[in-house]
């Protein structure tokens, strides 16, 4: 090996007393809709809440299907709906919460590969980072400042 190409990534940790008012509202929205998930196959409930730069907030949950790959994650559900309706409004932040049904505490959910690529798509569309916050089991929010922290060496240019 002659050379190494390295990318360092990190998550920031925010305990509840450091959350912004918007973080609190988005987290509550995500928790509330998480309980309405259609997840009879995995029993893994996910809620995602999204803030757009027009100030509007949206939330969605995972929707599973008996033909498993047809299911949709909470993140892609909320992104499709919000940006589908407000195609000129930049997504600022997405907060994700998850819990196994009947579990006593939240699970940390970092977006799956398909959702990472989807978030990347909207960073490219709006030429701006999207903050991704994930509720951890101990109640802190973990923050990725951009999808780049979760998808290093991402694919985003057909002409590069
Ligand atoms: N799921 C999400 O909604 N978001 C993620 O980031 C990870 C996984 C859903 C998909 C499926 O309904 C269930 O969680 C178990 O994988």
Q: Is residue 22 in a domain?
A: yes
**Residue 122 falls within a domain, yes or no?**
yes
How far, in Å, is the centroid of ligand 1 from the Cα of 76? 10
Beta carbon of 92 within 6 Å of any ligand 1 atom: no
59 contacts 110 by C-beta, under 8 angstroms: no
Instruction: Determine, yes or no, domain membership for 80.
Output: yes
Evaluate whether residue 156 is within a structural domain. Answer: no
The one-digit pLDDT tens for each residue of the chain (160 residues) are 899 999 999 999 999 999 999 999 999 999 999 999 999 999 999 999 999 999 999 999 999 999 999 999 999 999 999 999 999 999 999 999 999 999 999 999 899 999 999 999 999 999 999 999 999 999 999 999 999 999 999 998 888 7
118 lines ligand 1 (CB under 6 A): no
Pairing of strands 12-14, 91-100: unpaired
Its pTM stands at 0.96
Distance of CA 1 from the midpoint of ligand 1 (Å): 38
CA–centroid distance, 63 to ligand 1, in Å, is 9
Q: How many domains is the chain built from?
A: 1
CATH number of the CATH domain containing 70: 3.40.140.10
Domain that holds residue 61: 12-149
Task: Evaluate: CB of 42 within 6 angstroms of ligand 1.
Answer: yes
CA dist 73 and 145 (Å) reads 21
Please give the DSSP secondary-structure letter assigned to residue 50.
Answer: E
């Amino acid at each position: 090996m002659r050379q190494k190409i390295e990318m360092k990534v990190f998550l920031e940790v925010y305990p509840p007393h450091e959350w912004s008012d918007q973080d609190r509202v988005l987290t509550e929205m995500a928790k509330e809709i998480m309980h309405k998930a259609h997840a009879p196959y995995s029993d893994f409930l996910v809620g995602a809440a999204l803030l757009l730069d027009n100030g509007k907030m949206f939330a969605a949950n995972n929707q599973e299907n008996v033909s498993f790959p047809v299911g949709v994650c909470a993140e892609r559900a909320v992104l499709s709906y919000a940006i589908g309706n407000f195609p000129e409004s930049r997504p600022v932040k997405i907060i994700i919460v998850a819990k196994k049904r009947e579990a006593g505490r939240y699970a940390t959910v970092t977006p799956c590969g398909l959702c990472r690529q989807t978030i990347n798509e909207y960073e490219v569309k709006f030429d701006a980072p999207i903050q991704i916050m994930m509720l951890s089991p101990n109640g802190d929010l973990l923050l990725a400042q951009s999808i780049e922290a979760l998808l290093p060496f991402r694919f985003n240019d057909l002409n590069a």
